[in-house]
Chain A
Amino acid sequence: MAQFSLYEEEYHPSPLQRTWHEFRGSHVAFVGLIVLGIFLFFSLFAPLVAPHDPIAQNIDALLIPPSWEVNGSISYLFGTDALGRDVFSRIIYGCRVTLGSSIILVLLAMLVGVTIGTIAGMMRGVRSSVINHLLDALMAIPTLLIAIIIVAILGTGLVNSMWAITLALIPQFIHHTRSFVRAEMKKEYILASRLDGASNRQIFFNSILPNMIEMLVVQGTLALSIAVIDISALGFLNLGAQPPLPELGAILADGLDVAYLAPWNVALPGLTIFLMVLAINIVGDGLRSALRKRLSH
Chain B
Amino acid sequence: MITILTRYLTLFVLTLLVLAALSFSLAYLFPGDVLTNLSGITPQNEIQREALARQYKLDQGYFFQFIHYIGQLLSGNWGYSFISGLPLRDEIGIAMPATIELSTYAMLIAIVIGIPVGYYAGMKGYTTADHTINSISLFSYSFPVYWLALVFILVFSLELGIAPLSGRISLLFDIPNVTGFILIDTLLADGIDRGLAFRDALHHMVLPTLAIAIITTAAMIRLTRRSVIDVLSRPYITAARSRGLSRWQIFSRHILRNALLPILPLMAIQITTLITNAMIVETLFSWPGIGNWLIQAIYQRDYPALRIGMLAVSTLVITLTILIDLFNRLIDPSREKYERGTV
Whether the Cβ atoms of A140 and B298 lie closer than 8 Å is no
* Interface hit among A42-50, A69-77, A147-155: A147-155
- Specify which chain B residues have a CB less than 8 angstroms from the CB of A145 in the assembled complex: 276, 279, 294, 310, 313-314
Which stretch (B11-19, B48-56, B84-92, B179-187) binds chain A? B11-19
Chain B residues within 8 Å of A28, by CB: 135
Q: Are the C-beta atoms of A252 and B15 separated by less than 8 Å? A: no
Query: Are B138 and A282 neighbours in the complex by a CB distance under 8 Å?
Result: yes
B142 at the interface (CB under 8 A from A): yes
Which of A141, A178, A225 has the most chain B CB within a 10 Å cutoff?
A141
Binds A, one of B57-65, B75-83, B146-154, B250-258: B146-154
Does A132 lie within 8 Å of B338, measured CB to CB? yes
Interface pair A153/B30, CB less than 8 Å apart = yes
Bound form: Cα–Cα A145–B99 in Å: 14
A149/B310 in contact, CB under 8 A = yes
Are A182 and B338 interface neighbours, CB within 8 A? yes
**B318 on the A face (CB < 8 A):** yes
A288 touching B342 in the complex, CB below 8 Å, given contacts A141-B272, A259-B150:
yes
A142-B279, A274-B143 in contact; A263/B298 too (CB < 8 A)? no
Chain A minimum-CB-distance residue to B131 = A28
A171 CA to B272 CA in the complex, in Å? 13
Q: A143-B276, A274-B143 are in contact. Are A179 and B339 (CB under 8 A)?
A: yes
Contact segment of A59-67, A103-111, A230-238: A230-238
Interface size on B, residues (CB 8 A): 54
| A266→B152 CA distance, assembly (Å) | 12
Contact between A148 and B276 (Cβ–Cβ < 8 Å)?
Answer: no
Interface of A is mostly: helix
CB of A203 within 8 Å of the partner chain: no
Which chain A positions have C-beta within 8 A of B138?
A: 278, 281-282, 285
B110 within 8 A of A: no
> In chain B, residues 3-50, which have Cβ atoms closer than 8 Å to a Cβ of chain A?
11, 14-15, 18, 26, 29-31
B247 within 8 A of A: no
Q: Which residues of A contact B189 (CB under 8 A)?
A: none
Judged by a CB distance under 8 angstroms, whether B306 is at the interface is: yes
CB of B342, distance to nearest CB on chain A (Å) = 7
Interface string of A262-297 (1 = CB under 8 A from B): 010011001001100110011001001000000010
B149 to A: closest C-beta gap in Å: 10
- B154 contacts across to A, CB distance below 8 A: 259-260, 263, 266
* Residue A134 lies at the interface, judged by CB distance under 8 Å to chain B: yes
- Contact partners of A132 in chain B: CB under 8 A: 338
Is the CB–CB distance between B147 and A274 below 8 Å?
Answer: yes
Q: Name the distance in Å between A44's Cβ and chain B's nearest Cβ.
A: 23
Point out the residues of chain A lying under 8 angstroms from B201, CB to CB. Answer: none
Complex CA–CA separation, A178 to B340 (angstroms): 12
User: Would you call A195 an interface residue if the criterion is a C-beta within 8 Å of the partner chain's C-beta atoms?
Assistant: no
From residue 88 to 146 of chain B, which have CB atoms closer than 8 A to chain A?
135, 138-139, 141-146
- The reply to whether B279 and A152 form a contact with Cβ atoms under 8 Å apart is no
User: Counting CB contacts under 8 A, is A223 at the interface?
Assistant: no
Q: How far is the CB of B235 from chain A (nearest CB, A)?
A: 14
- Report the bound CA distance from A270 to B154 in whole Å: 13
Separation in Å of the B32 CB from the closest CB of chain A?
10
Query: Which chain B positions have C-beta within 8 A of A249?
Result: 144, 146
Judge if B194 is at the interface, Cβ distance under 8 Å. no
Whether B175 is near chain A, meaning CB under 8 Å from some CB there, is no
- Do A236 and B146 have beta carbons less than 8 Å apart? yes
A142-B317, A182-B338 given; name 9 further pairs at CB < 8 Å: A137-B15, A144-B276, A148-B298, A149-B26, A237-B280, A239-B295, A270-B150, A282-B138, A288-B342
